[in-house]
């Protein structure tokens, strides 16, 4: 909506341009306000007004912090209501990467953003809206709903040790730090900030095993094998790749590494049922064979550098297949 919840309610009630939407959703807690009856057209998407239902989300498209878990959950619940009441298949929702501008999608994609219709100047919900997350909320698999393992909104959660705490970490100094940071985030207001400092005593490549639950399976949350593990990552430096380690019944498996671009948020995830995505590590078999797993660590790797590099993690999540 490019503005505040309260301001948009007031604008829709009094603006001279007949601009409106059926519902507004507040960022902080997911509160929903209905502005137009569903049986009536709201003026929100031009020539498509007559047959569409419109939701406006509080915030600004260039600031990801507005898109909170509470907002995602409330919006998805409202859209599921639309699907049930108006016989709209929830599986017809868009399920791809976010777009920063107008990007017209075919009519077969029935749940999408204003930016996905023809003749639009609006670009919401924009580049920071996580459509794959939204699709999963609309279409929960047999394994249940997506589970946020650590969102870093109320604390560091399971990732409460230093980057060099694991004996498997190489290349960085023991003075490297990890702390919750509420000045930058991809989802909500906070992320986990890793400050990686080179170990001047050697020229080893950096391989950082950033532990979850101190690397103890019983200290971590168990999730089903029939799903995907992923997280958002931002690295203020080039040449990095990231991965994730999991504990299953026969030991620890490591995912393949994914290269990430510098100075931008990147979503990475691995399917637990995809044998090609996993390699054996300590005691592991190279495949996820147990019915459930726990996260062992997030891995960050780079060739040796003498620079100090800041990295950020957000929304460590399991999503059902």
Reply yes or no on whether the pLDDT at 220 is more than 80: yes
When pLDDT is cut at 50, 70 and 90, the band that residue 141 belongs to is: low
pLDDT in the model for residue 122: 86
Residue 144: pLDDT band (50, 70, 90) is: low
Q: What structural domains and CATH numbers belong to the chain? A: 5-139 (3.40.80.10), 148-320 (2.60.120.260)
pTM over 0.75: no
Residue with the larger pLDDT of the pair 100 and 300? 300
Instruction: Output the average pLDDT for the chain.
Output: 92
Distant-in-sequence, close-in-space partners of 314: CB < 8 Å, separation ≥ 6: 151, 152, 185, 186, 187, 188, 190, 191, 192, 231, 232, 233, 234, 265
- pLDDT tier at 142, thresholds 50, 70, 90: very low
- Place 127 in a pLDDT band, splitting at 50, 70 and 90: very high
Please state whether beta strands 227-235 and 266-271 pair in parallel, antiparallel, or not at all (unpaired): antiparallel
pLDDT at 306: 97
């Amino acid at each position: 909506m490019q503005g505040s919840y309260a301001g948009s309610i007031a604008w829709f009630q009094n603006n001279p341009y007949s601009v409106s939407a059926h519902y507004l959703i507040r960022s902080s807690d997911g509160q929903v306000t209905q502005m137009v009856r569903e049986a009536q057209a709201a003026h929100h998407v031009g020539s498509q007004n007559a047959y569409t239902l419109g939701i406006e989300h509080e915030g600004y498209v260039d600031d990801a912090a507005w898109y909170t878990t509470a907002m995602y959950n409330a919006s998805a619940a409202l859209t599921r209501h639309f699907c049930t009441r108006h016989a709209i298949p929830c599986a017809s929702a868009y399920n791809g990467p976010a777009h920063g501008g107008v990007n017209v999608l075919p009519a077969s994609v029935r749940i999408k953003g204003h930016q996905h219709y023809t003749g639009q100047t609006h670009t919401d919900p924009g580049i920071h809206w996580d459509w794959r997350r939204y699709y999963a909320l609309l279409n929960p698999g047999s394994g249940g709903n997506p589970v946020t393992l650590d969102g870093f909104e109320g604390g560091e959660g399971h990732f409460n040790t230093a980057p060099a705490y694991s004996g498997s970490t190489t290349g960085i100094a023991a003075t490297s730090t990890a702390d919750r940071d509420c000045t930058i985030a991809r989802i909500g207001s906070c992320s986990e900030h890793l400050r990686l400092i080179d170990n001047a005593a050697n020229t080893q490549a950096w391989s950082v095993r950033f532990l979850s639950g101190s690397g103890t399976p019983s200290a971590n949350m168990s999730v089903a094998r029939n799903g995907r593990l992923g997280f958002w990552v931002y690295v203020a430096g080039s040449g990095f790749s990231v991965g994730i380690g999991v504990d299953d019944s026969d030991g620890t498996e490591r995912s393949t590494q994914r290269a990430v671009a510098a100075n931008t948020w990147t979503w990475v995830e691995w399917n637990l049922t995809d044998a090609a995505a996993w390699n054996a590590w300590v005691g592991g078999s190279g495949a996820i064979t147990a019915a459930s797993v726990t996260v062992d660590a997030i891995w960050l790797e780079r060739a040796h550098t003498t620079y100090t590099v800041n990295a950020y993690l957000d929304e460590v999540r399991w999503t059902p297949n």
